[in-house]
Amino acid sequence: QSINTVREAITAGDYEKASLTARSITRSAKLLQDPHLERVSEFGRKAESFAAFLVRKEFKGAQLILSTTLQAGEILASSSETLSLG
């Protein structure tokens, strides 16, 4: 499970898979309690929230996460043309 898997799932529109993968990344980072994984864990939480908003079709919430999270914005830049966030 990796951040690339989350990116690919979101690009493909499989927000359920993106959310599950992000949750797994976050859980792994917590279990290992490695300070270097804090950034990964933070990304995992943001990606999970973003995907959850999209699954529920709450586009304003997804937009808020994109606008406040540079990492998510960079990762999703390639798929922004395919997402209509209202």
Q: Which amino acid is at 53?
A: F
Token output for 58? 């709450």
Of residues 30 and 83, more confidently modeled: 30
pLDDT at position 83, please? Answer: 44
Given a contact cutoff of 8 angstroms between Cβ atoms, the answer to whether 49 and 34 are in contact is no
Cα 43 to Cα 24, 49, 59, 72, 86: the distances in Å are: 12, 10, 19, 7, 23
pLDDT at position 5, please? Answer: 82
Instruction: Report, as an integer, the average pLDDT of 19-46.
Output: 69
Per-residue pLDDT for 18 more than 70?
yes
pLDDT tens per residue, range 47-80: 777 777 777 777 777 777 766 654 544 554 444 4
pLDDT at position 81, please? Answer: 41
Q: What are phi and psi of 33, to 5 degrees?
A: 45, 45
pLDDT at position 66, please? Answer: 67
